[in-house]
Amino acid sequence: IGDTAGSNGTVTMTGAFIWNSTGTSSGTIIGFIGAGTFNAGGGSTVNTANTILGFGATSSGSVTVDASTWNQTGAAPLSALFVGYGGAGAFTVQNGGTVSAVDTYVGHLAGSNGAATVTGAGSSWTGNSFFIGNSGTGTFNVLNSATLTANNNTFLGYFAGSTGTLNVDGAG
């Protein structure tokens, strides 16, 4: 989605639709050199191997999961979610939406800028490990009674030159 320089692609799902991208090695790439947007809403479900937002320095990718489900279903290492993979990435979960990923990287690779937000009661993001600022700049926001569950580790500013920020605000 957003596959070449200067391109801009958008996917919008509303209703009980299912997106399956589990049989490929790359999974779902949103903003591959260009700009990409993926909106999953209204009870839709996304099942994918890796998810990459903002692949490359000039790229940008954004995802909104609104009252829907996003599952990273591949076996490791094909079950990671990258928000900013050399480029810019933004991933928002709201209105009771859920995300499940083995590992989440926000701001992966030098020069990247990633922002992840989970907001609102019933909204959740669950994973094994979280790398917030993994050679790049990463920010993760947990707001308004949403939940973030790390079954293993959470790393902030994982490598030298990285910046990682975790903001938690509101009852929860």
Predicted local confidence at residue 73, as pLDDT: 80
**Closest CA relative to residue 81, chosen from 48, 111, 37:** 48
**Closest CA relative to residue 33, chosen from 1, 58, 50, 53:** 58
Beta strands in 51-146 (DSSP E): 51-55, 60-66, 69-72, 80-85, 88-94, 98-108, 113-119, 124-134, 137-143
Percent of the chain, pLDDT > 70?
96
Q: Give mean pLDDT, residues 123-151.
A: 97
The whole-angstrom separation of Cα 112 and Cα 135 is 8
**Closest CA relative to residue 54, chosen from 27, 30, 25:** 30
- pLDDT tens sequence across 21-56: 887 667 899 999 999 999 999 999 999 988 999 999
0.75 cut: is pTM over it? yes
- pLDDT tens sequence across 3-12: 888 999 999 9
